[in-house]
Amino acid sequence: MLLLRKKIDEIGKILTKKQFDDYLLDSHSIIKPVCVSAIVERDKLCAAIGNETGEEKYYVILTENMLPYYLVFLLNSLSCKTALFEGKINTSQQIKINKKKLKELDLIITEDKSQIYYEVAERLRQSVYTLLKDPNLDLDKVEVMISMFDNLCNALAFELYLHPILEELDIHIFQYWKEVIDTIKDQNNADLLIKELTRQDSPLRNQMMKLYMYATQISNKAK
């Protein structure tokens, strides 16, 4: 897997809400804007296509060098959030960010054909988060679904950021996620994918468990 480490300035530009409003007046661009909340909360998604976050204050990232949903996937990952929280993600519930903080983020860029699979994961995560708005659904079930897709997306992101280490440990999240997506017809069916994530003999589930055990060992050593 080809991986490159880049800053946002190298793949696009960051605008304030006002700058983006001015940009829309002067441009006929069809680039999908990636919006990032100015206040990042630990347990909520901070990035979306357009202002789907519903926040009043946000920054906009414009790029033609990667799939927009892949960038959203990276920004919503625990890897990027930990960097934005400057290592205090376990003790702080939220943090106010600015353009400088966003510019300091490391982004791991992979080829477009691989980005599509991360995009599928992020779209599914966004879709289950929207279920929180439906008062008729079982909130406990929705939260379980959210936890599953958060864990999946975070595992995929960890593999990108720690690829050499996890490869040595024979942990391959993306490989088995790709196999799952390539074999199912309805990639938007969250229930089908949840069955795969919970099936006892699922290779993807087993790989995620291996990653969890590795992360637990590292965490225990750091205490």
**Phi and psi of 123, rounded to 5°?**
-60, -40
Q: Is 80 exceeded by the pLDDT of residue 87?
A: no
Predicted pLDDT at 54: 61
Q: Is 90 exceeded by the pLDDT of residue 31?
A: no
Radius of gyration of the chain (CA): 18
Q: Is 90 exceeded by the pLDDT of residue 46?
A: yes
Q: How far apart are CA 86 and CA 95, in angstroms?
A: 10
51 confidence band (pLDDT: 50, 70, 90): low
219 confidence band (pLDDT: 50, 70, 90): confident
